[in-house]
Amino acid sequence: MSLSKLVAAVFFAGALVGAPLVASACTPGSGGVVLEKPDVDWTLAAYGLDSIAPGAQFAVEILLCDAPEETEVVEVGATMPTHGHGMNYKPEITRTNHGAFVTTGWLMHMSGEWEIAVKTRSGTEYATFVHTVTVAP
């Protein structure tokens, strides 16, 4: 299920019972990766990082959990630390009407270990969340 559909489903179900919006999308085991940073009050859930193929474009859906409403994703990218380079493409960021962010245009041109970085901003506070993925040949 896409994050947009998940957010809509959780919103509808939450509205019926008074539950918090998208709470289940921000817990481990909901199909994505949940990233935390000790120096900020919000976490990040990322979907679409589980089956990356080298040389194939993909999208990553991002949800900011427990974040102030003005919090946004301002930059995304990936690097290969062992090779000292990043991607040849710059992903685009689009905010959905459900408050999630869809990032498109990712392409990791070779297999190996990549560090995914998502930079967020809330007012004047910035936080970068990093997750390591292995792209198999």
- Domain extents in the chain: 28-135
pLDDT value for 6: 42
pLDDT value for 98: 80
Put the strands of the sheet holding 85-86 in their side by side order: 85-86, 72-80, 112-122, 125-135
pLDDT value for 29: 62
The DSSP code sequence of the chain is --HHHHHHHHHHHHHHHTPPTTTGGGSTTSSSEEE--TTSS-EEEEES-SS--TT--EEEEEEEES--TT-EEEEEEEEETTTTEE-SS--EEEE-TTS-EEEEEE---S-EEEEEEEEEEETTEEEEEEEEEEE--
Query: What's the CATH superfamily of 28-135?
Result: Domain of unknown function DUF4426 (2.60.40.3340)
pLDDT value for 22: 46
Q: Which residues pair with 134 in a beta bridge?
A: 113
pLDDT value for 99: 79
pLDDT value for 18: 36
What is the reported pTM? 0.79
Angle (CA) 104-107-110 rounded to 5° is 165
Which residues of the chain fall below pLDDT 50?
A: 1-23
pLDDT value for 25: 63
pLDDT value for 9: 39
